[in-house]
Amino acid sequence: MVLHPTDLVQVSAHTQHLCENLGSHRAAKVAVVLAYMNNLGLNLFFFLNLVSWNDLDCITHLKIHYEHSTLMVSEELPLNITQWHQLPQSTNSMHVQAHGAISVLECFAFTYHIGDVIGGELEGIRHVLQCPPEDLSMEELCTLFIEDPILKLSTPGFGGTPQFWSLLLSRDWHRYTYP
């Protein structure tokens, strides 16, 4: 996907300016940068790894620190991650690279972010979900008013689980069929 400032409102003015002035032959320009990196003994993975604080010299280098910090707080970073997740591909392509980083990004998201956020929320409401054995009688279960816990769980700020609730509501559950 080529960045066109008219298509992407969330890009910064600086990025819009760079995009407008890049001109044609974008792929050739990227290839030149990659070839130069190769001459320096860098590949794209190693370069990104170094810029991402995997080296003391990079951490303390002012220009690298500035560029890294600018990227981490930019509104454009989610755009790049979205593009990594949904690479352009030809119709019906079964090539493994055509699927982009879908499985890697999903694994990362659930392992390092979503799991932690939702796990923390669920840990915070553990007391709401626990039921003393005496409340598990047929009479108690038949008189359970489910709307009260649902209201509490879906309300942020009252010991609720807003991220978990948002995840539940975002799914297209009617697609799933059960045996």
Q: Are 81 and 105 in contact (CB under 8 A)?
A: yes
pLDDT of residue 6: 43
**Residues in the chain, overall count:** 179
Domain boundary among the residues 89, 120, 155 is at: 89
Pair 48, 107 in one domain: no
Q: Give me the pLDDT at residue 108, please.
A: 80
Range of the domain at 77: 13-89
72 and 21 share one domain: yes
Same domain (yes/no): 28, 81: yes
C-alpha span between 20 and 18 (Å, rounded): 6
Q: What pLDDT, on a 0 to 100 scale, did the predictor assign at position 49?
A: 92
Indicate whether 156 belongs to any domain.
yes
CB 161 within 8 Å of CB 114 = no
Taking the C-alpha atoms of residue 173 and residue 98, their distance in angstroms, rounded to an integer, is 27
- Tell me whether residue 46 is in a domain: yes
Residue ending a domain, among 89, 118, 135, is 89
pLDDT in tens, the chain (179 residues): 444 444 444 677 878 888 888 888 888 999 999 999 999 999 999 999 999 887 899 999 999 999 999 888 888 888 888 777 776 666 666 665 556 677 777 788 777 778 788 888 778 777 766 777 776 777 776 766 667 667 766 666 556 676 777 777 776 655 555 44
**24 vs 144: CA distance, rounded Å:** 66
Q: Are the C-beta atoms of 76 and 9 separated by less than 8 Å? A: no
At 126, which helix (H) or strand (E)? helix 126-129
Residue 82 lies in a domain: yes
Domain count, the chain: 2
CA dist., res. 21 & res. 15, Å (int): 10
Q: Is residue 97 part of a domain?
A: no
Cβ-proximal residues to 118 (8 Å cutoff; 6+ apart), any chain: 161, 163, 164, 167
User: Does some domain include residue 52?
Assistant: yes
The kind and range of the H/E element at 102 are: helix 102-108
pLDDT given for residue 16 in this prediction: 81
Does residue 95 lie within any of the structural domains? no
Query: Are 25 and 84 in a shared domain?
Result: yes
